[in-house]
Amino acid sequence: MAEEKKPAPPAAGGRANTKKELPEHFKAYKHVWVAVEIEHGQVHPVSYELLGEGRKLADKRGVELAAVVMGDDRASLEDAAVACFEYGADCVYLAQDPALAHYRNETATRVLTDIVNTYKPEILLLGATNLGRDLAGSVATTLLTGLTADCTELAIDEEGSLAATRPTFGGSLLCTIFTLNFRPQMATVRPRVLAMPEREAGRTGRIVEFAPGLVEDDIVTKVLDFIADRDSDKAQLPYADIVVAGGLGLGSAENFQLIRELAGVLGAEYGGSRPLVQKGWITSDRQIGQTGKTIRPKLYIAAGISGAIQHRVGVEGADVIVAINTDPNAPIFEFAHLGIVADAVTLLPALSQAFARRLRVNRLAS
Amino acid sequence: MHIVVCIKQVPDSAQIRVHPVTNTIMRQGVPTIINPYDLFALEEALRLKERFGATVTVLTMGPPTAADSLRKALTFGADRAVLLTDRYFAGSDTLATSFALSMALRKIAADFGAPEIIFTGKQTIDGDTAQVGPGIAKRLDYNQLTYVSRIVETDLDAGTIRVERRAEGGIQVLQTRLPVLVTMLEATNEMRRGSIENALIAARAPVVTWNATDVGIEDLTKCGLRGSPTIVKKVFAPTARTEKAVIVDADGSADAKAQALVEAIFARAPTVEHELNEQAAHHYV
Amino acid sequence: MIEEKFDAIVVGAGPSGNAAAYTMAREGLNVLQIERGEYSGSKNVQGAILYADALEKIIPDFREDAPLERHVIEQRMWMMDDKSHTGAHYRSEDFNEEKPNRYTILRAQFDKWFSSKVREAGALVLFETTVTELVKDLSGQVIGVRTDRQGSPIMANVVILAEGVNGLVGQRSGLRDEVSPDSVALAVKEMHFLPRETIEARFNLTGNEGVVIEAMGTITRGMTGTGFLYTNEESISVGIGCIVSDFAESDVTPNELLEAFKNHPSIKPLLAGSECKEYAAHLIPEGGYRAIPRLTGPGWIVVGDAGQFVNAVHREGSNLAMTTGRVAAETVVALTRKREPMTAAALKDYEKRLEQTFVMKDLKKYQGIPALLHARKGAFFGAYPRLVSQAMQTWFRVDGTDKKSKEQAIYRNFRETRTLWGMLGDAFNLVRAWR
Ligand SMILES: Cc1cc2nc3c(=O)[nH]c(=O)nc-3n(C[C@H](O)[C@H](O)[C@H](O)COP(=O)(O)OP(=O)(O)OC[C@H]3O[C@@H](n4cnc5c(N)ncnc54)[C@H](O)[C@@H]3O)c2cc1C
Ligand SMILES: Cc1cc2nc3c(=O)[nH]c(=O)nc-3n(C[C@H](O)[C@H](O)[C@H](O)COP(=O)(O)OP(=O)(O)OC[C@H]3O[C@@H](n4cnc5c(N)ncnc54)[C@H](O)[C@@H]3O)c2cc1C
Ligand SMILES: Nc1ncnc2c1ncn2[C@@H]1O[C@H](COP(=O)(O)O)[C@@H](O)[C@H]1O
């Protein structure tokens, strides 16, 4: 049979690790943590999304929710701590050090592993951003524990273990992964996969200071420069409220201009399916889907996109999905909220005009 | 200079099928390819080879058939291929994989010289974790540069490397000391096509094949399923949403259709319209 | 510059090229095989029938590790009109033998396996490399090949062209003519995945038993061709093919034919619930004996589909390919051992050897059939299948008509559609072509 078989384990001991037999020294590990991502004084929104989810996990476990904030600037760390409390944290571990000015794997790994080893969380969550994945991989290896990447769903099972669900094989399947016998249980989650929690103004908690004691001269990696994307024409897809995207159905690179025009009218971000990146019609930072960006806009308009599973997983969180496709049987109609069977190349210009007209009328009326 | 590139043979996931009844993966007839992200790493290594006259070793852990991918890498111009294969490695998660690969890398260092740079791809298309690279770096105590979009400068005399790294919201320019592990971002270069001479050399080149014992792994509980802290308990297909799209049915011209669609969209998402009006108001004052 | 000179270069890694390269390498020759695909079989997805005998003569114990799907225990021959089929089935427990005679295979896997044997035997195999032309010396002797990769040509004493039906290298080098559109069929096929339990229940199979259905009739809309369906382990191969020149005259596309075939009421339930994952189109040489091009010349030999070695009537191809590949290799081995130059005269020995095999004997026997079927395609792929269906229906439907009237009605029906002479003529010609 050509089916996927879990190969039989090699020697005695069997599949011992599929049962929960938590070693004694791990029993002290308690509480749910989120490693907060701060760059250039700004907290990445994914950290708040994780706090929202972490809150639920902590409540289910009857434990505390803590946030780890690391950086060099006192004021921004304190601001971040306040925000973390308001988004649900009970406690903030605050590590301030001049050497933490910019994210570097070396320093961040050292500090985060030290805090974990000192205060022992049972669950540690990070954003599946470039920073989060870079850090999570090193921390998990240093701690010799399990790490589940790019989760789409987190839950606590009956035994109190973290059940982390993630897509596999390009999104055609999902799997649920456990780290039963090691601590902490680590997972990363992509931006915009979890909902942004309500912010509860005035909510506070306790701050635990942690002195990293880093010495800049001992650190071999140096940050020489940072070229911000806002200085270049880089897409800001994950947090856009409206996204307009095109697929192969547009027929040609020239027709992609129609997507840009509609995006212009709506003040939206624009993107596309993977083949467009492969064909060079758009840059890779504008790819939406499994191996591109996950988006969660209020409105998503997809023109000439078939809606393959790998695309679907990246857009399902949108509040309203609108599909324009000539094929009434295209899979995108299975998960879109609104659809129209029409030729995108002729409909898009008309749609840009119709939107523009409507908004103009609204403005005159107000 | 010695460079090692870690490549993985993966099923072409575009062609993966899910068994309609048992929800298991059907690999029958699914072709395998070199993980596409690893080709960017390999090409970068080959460019350094040209510049510095380096030796490039490709390393993979996988079943014996993974030798095909190694041979292909040789065709592109790599000099040596190492296959790490053993049934004890079956079922490895990223922690166990990085352990096994790091042991193989130690032996590569001992037998063929310590690599100044180890390359991996950004991530694989089957595992999709982007964890193996950082895992190897940690175990070998190499400096780690992930999501590298460009190698700006390599100074062998000074023992330094400077790169551009894709960070959140921008590009970080980083400098560190060799030896280093680099995970290469996609679309950073274009894979070359080897010459007929390369192809002939590759077809002849032996694939160095090692098992767990060969690379000095004594504690087999660190390998494969037993060495993997993560446990896959359940595999299932995503649930289909039952409700289908409401089809906007409008006859006639594109304008009529567009008009109907705009109305349907705003009826469904009134807040979007409201916010657009607000924005517009800002724009035009 | 590549100094080395190979004993032989094989162009292509299909069944014929693999058979040739394997046979020569095992005998110790320095062999280079060049394939343009990513691996052997990469251009040849999907299912096929493997005839054990031809492979056994090359790798006797192939059953130990070759990727075989199911062994065929049942053959169904269907004559179809638009709504019905009239069938002859042959199923025998004898086919559940220790060394089964026919298997279903997936070419992608099978070719890959065969290719690994070629490499184990010691041949050098280059993939993703296309031979662009033959290199000749001043006398016209072929002395090597040029490829699409950068670099110098590669030299060899002899080049075996196992490049498949198009024979482009041979053509470009002036060794043969372009393949004529009325001697090749275009076949399209798909793989449909189903759980093995479903396949076994649907086709009345246990274990690795398999079924083959071959179909002809109105499914090809009057064009010369056939449809087929094979059971693999967890999939069904289904396809249909017709002569290219017929397609050219018709306004039906191969794809439409396949869709209609799959939706035929006799086929549809067999595929129900399956997931189609692969689609491929490929040419099959069906011109038979009369279409065989020149097979040898100074420094070159043609084997397999490139030599039109397909028995269209029995749907045999890969066995002829392997056999011609092996025989060509044996010829080259013998000449190499004797240190004889690969002149046109010396290589003629390949053709003499082929005369002694089933390959030439069968193709000669059927040499009239392709032309006959083609000339009388309206009758064979339209009128006759319809008549048979009507006769069956008249015969089996119980409606108060007496049997004698039914027999007369059937007879009348046949006579009205085809004159008695025409039918007798067709039958006579078919028998004669068969003999
Ligand atoms: C490992 C892996 C990861 C992947 N990751 C991603 C990813 O992150 N994002 C992603 O998008 N894909 C991804 N894919 C690819 C994905 O499987 C699909 O191939 C891809 O999404 C298809 O893009 P498409 O819809 O633009 O093109 P197609 O599938 O070709 O669809 C084009 C659609 O346009 C319609 N159409 C044609 N003409 C018109 C017209 N004039 N007007 C309107 N409609 C028209 C057609 O009916 C069709 O539905 C991944 C694949 C793999 C294997
Ligand atoms: C739909 C269909 C169904 C069939 N079913 C059966 C069946 O059930 N049983 C059976 O016995 N036969 C069957 N056949 C016939 C059988 O597939 C062929 O007879 C057989 O594959 C011929 O083998 P070959 O090696 O001569 O050619 P091919 O298999 O065509 O191999 C030729 C190889 O040469 C390579 N090549 C071509 N040009 C170059 C070049 N310039 N440089 C480098 N490489 C090159 C190609 O990539 C290819 O791999 C079927 C054919 C078709 C199309
Ligand atoms: N089995 C393996 N053999 C060699 N390299 C690997 C293997 N698995 C992962 N890698 C390397 O690690 C990178 C990240 O893989 P992953 O963590 O699985 O996404 C890949 O791009 C490869 O370069």
pLDDT digits (tens, 9 = 90+) for A273-330: 999 998 889 988 899 988 788 888 999 999 999 998 889 888 988 989 999 999 998 9
**C23 and C162: one domain?**
yes
From the CA of C129, how many Å to the nearest CA of chain B?
8
The answer to whether residue C77 sits within a structural domain is no
Ligand 3: list residues with CB < 6 Å.
B 6-8, 35, 37-38, 59-62, 94, 97, 101, 120-121, 123-124, 127-133
**C24 and C168: one domain?**
yes
Cβ contact A219:A107 at 8 Å: yes
**A35 and A135: one domain?**
yes
Ligand 1: distance of its center to the CA of A307 in Å?
6
When computed from its CA atoms, the radius of gyration of chain C, rounded to whole angstroms, is 23
The answer to whether residue C42 sits within a structural domain is yes
- The two three-digit tokens of residue C198, written as one number: 């479903």
The answer to whether residue A17 sits within a structural domain is no
The answer to whether residue C211 sits within a structural domain is yes
C318 pocket-lining for ligand 2 (C-beta < 6 Å): yes
Backbone angles phi, psi at A339, to 5 degrees: -140, 155
Q: Which of A226, A250, A284 is the last residue of a domain?
A: A226
From the CA of B67, how many Å to the nearest CA of chain A?
20
The answer to whether residue A287 sits within a structural domain is yes
Q: How many domains does chain A have?
A: 2
- Number of Cα atoms under 13 Å in the Cβ half of residue A343: 8
Q: Could you report the predicted ipTM of this complex, rounded to two decimals?
A: 0.77
Q: What percent of chain C has pLDDT over 70?
A: 95
Ligand 3: distance of its center to the CA of B131 in Å?
8
**C336 and C405: one domain?**
no
Chain A residues whose beta carbon lies within 8 Å of the beta carbon of residue C196: 1
Ligand 1: distance of its center to the CA of B59 in Å?
34
The answer to whether residue C79 sits within a structural domain is no
Q: Residue A145, exposed/middle/buried by CB under 10 A (0-12, 13-18, 19+)?
A: buried
At residue B213, what is the residue type? T
Distance CA A92, CA A77 (A): 10
**A201 and A253: one domain?**
no
Per the structure, the complete domain to which residue A114 belongs is given by 25-226
**C26 and C174: one domain?**
yes
Distance CA C89, CA C105 (A): 21
Interface of A with B in 236-275 (CB under 8 A): 241-242, 266-267
Q: What is the tens place of the pLDDT at every residue in C321-357? A: 999 999 999 999 999 999 999 999 999 999 999 999 9
Q: Is the pLDDT of residue A12 over 70?
A: no
Could you write out the DSSP letters of every residue in C158-202? EEEE---TT-HHHHHTTSSPPPPGGGEEEEEEEEEE--HHHHHHH
Which of A18, A165, A166, A173 is most worth mutating to test chain B (most B CB atoms within 10 A of its CB)?
A173
Chain A residues whose beta carbon lies within 8 Å of the beta carbon of residue B236: 173-176
Q: What percent of chain C has pLDDT over 90?
A: 64
**A217 and A302: one domain?**
no
Pick the residue with more confidence: A240 or B251? A240
**A180 and A250: one domain?**
no
**A42 and A127: one domain?**
yes
The answer to whether residue C83 sits within a structural domain is no
B13 pocket-lining for ligand 1 (C-beta < 6 Å): yes
Nearest C-alpha to atom 47 of ligand 1 is from which residue?
A: A327
Q: Is the pLDDT of residue A8 over 60?
A: no
**C19 and C154: one domain?**
yes
* Structural domains of chain B sorted by starting position, each given as residue range(s) with its CATH number in brackets: 2-227 (3.40.50.620), 241-285 (no CATH)
**C272 and C240: one domain?**
yes
**C348 and C373: one domain?**
no
Distance CA A361, CA C187 (A): 59
Q: Which of C233, C288, C240 is nearest to C261 (CA)?
A: C240
Ligand nearest to the CA of B123: 3
Q: Is the pLDDT of residue B285 over 50?
A: no
Ligand nearest to the CA of B95: 3
**A330 and A359: one domain?**
yes
Q: Which of A226, A260, A277 is the last residue of a domain?
A: A226
**C129 and C37: one domain?**
yes
**A248 and A215: one domain?**
no
The answer to whether residue A352 sits within a structural domain is yes
Q: Which of C365, C384, C417 is the last residue of a domain?
A: C365
Contact B223 A137 (CB under 8 A): no
**A40 and A158: one domain?**
yes
The domain that holds A356 is classified in CATH as 3.40.50.1220
Q: Which of C246, C265, C285 is the last residue of a domain?
A: C285
Distance CA B226, CA B90 (A): 10
**C58 and C132: one domain?**
yes
The answer to whether residue C40 sits within a structural domain is yes
Interface of C with B (CB under 8 A): 2, 38-39, 42, 45, 106, 108-109, 124-129, 147, 149-152, 154, 191, 193-195, 233-235, 273, 275, 277-278
The angle at the Cα of A172, spanning B37 to B187, to the nearest 5 degrees, equals 20
Q: What is the tens place of the pLDDT at every residue in B97-116? A: 999 999 999 999 999 999 99
Q: What is the pTM of this model?
A: 0.80
pLDDT at C379: 81
**C61 and C145: one domain?**
yes
Q: How many CB atoms lie within 10 A of CB C306?
A: 32
Angle between helix axes B94-112 and A130-143 (nearest 10 degrees) is 80
- Number of Cα atoms under 13 Å in the Cβ half of residue A299: 25
Per the structure, the complete domain to which residue C229 belongs is given by 184-285
First to last CA, chain C: 55
The domain that holds C239 is classified in CATH as 3.30.9.90
Residue C87 CA to its chain's centroid (Å): 23
**A147 and A212: one domain?**
yes
From the CA of B204, how many Å to the nearest CA of chain A?
31
Backbone angles phi, psi at C314, to 5 degrees: -100, 5
From the CA of C194, how many Å to the nearest CA of chain A?
13
Among B120, B138, B210, name the best residue to mutate to test ligand 3's pocket (greatest count of ligand atoms within 8 A of Cβ). Answer: B120
Q: Which of B256, B278, B285 is nearest to A362 (CA)?
A: B278
Q: How many domains does chain C have?
A: 3
**A193 and A247: one domain?**
no
**C191 and C308: one domain?**
no
Mean pLDDT (chain A) is 90
pLDDT at B272: 87
* Beta strands at A65-71 and A91-96: parallel, antiparallel or unpaired: parallel
Would you mind telling me the total number of residues written for chain C in this entry?
A: 435
The domain that holds C125 is classified in CATH as 3.50.50.60
Cβ contact C280:C194 at 8 Å: no
Q: Which of A226, A261, A282 is the last residue of a domain?
A: A226
Question: In which band, very low, low, confident or very high, does the pLDDT at C435 lie, cut at 50, 70 and 90?
Answer: low
**C235 and C272: one domain?**
yes
The answer to whether residue A235 sits within a structural domain is no
Mean pLDDT, residues A357-364: 85
Chain C adjacent subunits, 3+ CB pairs under 8 A: A, B
The domain that holds A95 is classified in CATH as 3.40.50.620
